[in-house]
A and B are shown apart, each in its own frame.
Chain A
């Protein structure tokens, strides 16, 4: 399977614990995105990377959230001191960007569902 893969698919944790999600993009894609989706809503943009550089972060991304993409390949999204409001589906997507900055088609993974008790 050469699509975007995310791990774990489902995480249940207690409030106050830290969690980390991993995303493996399509191998030749230089851009990687994180979105969050709550029940009954569309995905909301969180952050994106061009290779290893984090180019933009949404105001939705509080200080408890940190994302990395070392070496420009896989990415991790860590949530510290989880709160019940963090319960959501965390989606990763990747794309190939041209030299003019166009994003190209985004390919989404199936998501990692977080439940905070």
Chain B
């Protein structure tokens, strides 16, 4: 079946450090891929997305590239800030159902950025 696997957290970094959160997926066909972020006390928000192989999604300094050959969608940011502290979720929308909004999420990775 379709699934998403993320690296275990928490990830603790100092401000201005480089961030990578690994995400790999299993899916038939060509899913759409997403990163959602949940800041403390808030609902999930879409951070970025990519809908086909080799697409790069980007937003707020974060980037992720859809790699079909490695079935990965790793999240990166060159210089993190304290305000980036949050829980990050990788997700996919399986192509067999189109983008119905039925998302399959990874377990989430907590990022803590220290000043």
Contact = CB atoms under 8 A, between A and B. Distances in A.
A65 interface: no
B44 interface: yes
A45 B102 contact: yes
A98 to B, nearest CB: 10
A106 interface: yes
B43 to A, nearest CB: 4
Nearest to A92: B43
Contacts of B93: 103
Interface string A76-117: 000000000000000101010100011111111111000000
Given A48-B102, A103-B93, A106-B101, A4 B107 contact: no
Interface string B98-115: 111111111110000000
Contacts of B107: 40-42
Give the one of B36, B91, B102 with max A CB within 10 A. B102
A35 B105 CA distance: 11
Interface size class of A (residues with CB under 8 A): 20 to 34
Interface string B31-69: 000001000011111100000000000000000000000
A48 to B, nearest CB: 6
A110 B106 contact: no
B46 A106 contact: yes
Contact of B101 (A42, A95, A109, A110): A95
Interface in A55-72: 55-56
A110 B41 CA distance: 7
A44 B105 CA distance: 7
A95 B103 CA distance: 13
A102 B89 CA distance: 21
A56 B100 contact: yes
A105 B107 CA distance: 20
Contacts of A110: 41-43
